[in-house]
Copies of this chain bind each other. A is one copy, B any other.
Amino acid sequence: MALISPSRRLRRTPFSDGVEAAGVKAYTVYNRMLLATVFESVEADYRHLKEHVQVWDVSVERQVELRGPDAARLMQMLTPRDLRGMLPGRCFYIPIVDETGGMLNDPVAVKLAEDRWWISIADSDLLLWVKGISNGYRLDVLIDEPDVSPLAIQGPKADELAARIFGDSIRDIKFFRFGLFEFDGREMVVARSGYSKQGGFEVYVEGADIAMPLWDALFKAGEDLNVRAGCPNGIERIEGGLLSYGNDMTDDNTPHECGLGRFCDTQTAIGCIGRDALLRVAKEGPVQQIRAIAVEGDQLPLCDRAWGLYAGDTRVGQLTSAAWSPDHQTNVAIGMVRMTHWDTGTKLRVETPDGAREATVQAGFWH
């Protein structure tokens, strides 16, 4: 593995001093910002995440803020999910599509008020798409990237740790809801959400100055809970079927191909830019779709490009994320498979840089 060259362009976060002090060993770059990938080792981080509680610097989930009288109209233009019934205080996972129905991002939308929204984005400059659309349609809405950096608290002891900082009422937040909680005299949006299946919260930290005080307070309060610095874990997120934009899907894919059809109300999402393109696929279904795939044999190499999936000589799909799961004692993987070969139990061949392996389509992810 090669080193990463620091530069201002690969932005540090308000928590970077804490991440470095915790002994980060490797990074990825996400939204032109540093995101830790390894502390002790991917396997040790995984085990700890499943048993204790971790604090994650996920500042890379940058916010696109929409404010103004046309904010709600613009939000609906971006997504085939029907947002009419969404109340302030709710978080919605929303596919965002272009005029062809291709995925541009798969963020979480946070509705702060009727005329104020945050879009907590995956890895693409969604700000530019939203600004371009708003400009072209001459909408009355202010769009920018505010000084907000999410910090995640994840793991089975996340409720206990969060309660020690924000009070016991935080235990009552329901999944994908948020509330306002105070830390050090500042109100913070805290949502029950996060990029793991271990449960926990995401704190939307507004203002870089309060970032390290919150980080330090969490580590002090969680000493007896064995709290550690962590990061989205490559094994755990594949076991749980958490998709990664840019890895498992790109703008080539519709939401339906990504298995996100349940987040699309294409018929009623009036105004959605990709609606026309998606109406047919919403009715007839996609011809390829994301599947959980188990791959035989010992630990696979790191998956840094699409690996072809074959039935005989015919390419029928590709794997885009893979890892050895200590808990399930198999290689867990995420792939896009054509409908002719996507049934549970279908045996395929995956071509990896280390040679061919047998692969089997699963009924679902592992959790």
The residues of A with any CB-CB pair to B shorter than 8 Å are: 1-10, 12, 24-30, 32, 37-38, 98-99, 104, 123-126, 128-138, 234, 244-247, 273, 302-306, 320-321
Contact = CB atoms under 8 A, between A and B. Distances in A.
A30 B29 CA distance: 9
Contacts of A9: 28, 30, 123, 244-247
A161 to B, nearest CB: 26
A306 B289 CA distance: 44
Could you say how many copies of this chain the assembly holds? 2
Given A10-B29, A125-B128, A5 B38 contact: yes
Given A128-B125, A133-B135, A26 B7 contact: no
Contacts of A246: 8-9, 32
B128 A305 contact: no
Given A7-B247, A124-B125, A135-B273, 18 more contacts: A1-B5, A2-B26, A3-B27, A4-B26, A5-B302, A7-B303, A8-B304, A9-B247, A12-B305, A29-B29, A32-B123, A32-B124, A32-B246, A98-B131, A99-B135, A129-B129, A132-B135, A132-B136
A5 B32 contact: no
Contacts of A302: 5-7
Contact of A3 (B26, B124, B138): B26
Contacts of A129: 128-129, 131-132
A351 to B, nearest CB: 15
Contact of A8 (B1, B27, B124, B303): B303
A105 to B, nearest CB: 9
Nearest to A26: B3
Contact of A128 (B124, B138, B321): B124
Query: 7 shortest A-B CB distances, which residue pairs?
Result: A136-B136, A132-B132, A9-B246, A125-B125, A6-B304, A29-B29, A128-B129
A24 B2 contact: yes
A9 B29 CA distance: 9
B2 A25 contact: yes
Contacts of A273: 135
Nearest to A318: B8
A8 B247 contact: yes
A338 to B, nearest CB: 19
A12 B5 CA distance: 17
B25 A4 contact: no
Contact of A4 (B28, B131, B138, B303): B28
A26 to B, nearest CB: 4
A5 to B, nearest CB: 4
Contacts of A37: 5
B128 A126 contact: yes
A1 B1 contact: no
A26 B1 CA distance: 9
24 contacts: A1-B5, A2-B25, A3-B4, A4-B29, A5-B28, A5-B234, A7-B247, A7-B302, A7-B303, A8-B303, A8-B305, A8-B321, A32-B123, A124-B128, A125-B125, A126-B128, A128-B132, A130-B132, A131-B132, A132-B132, A132-B133, A132-B134, A134-B136, A135-B136
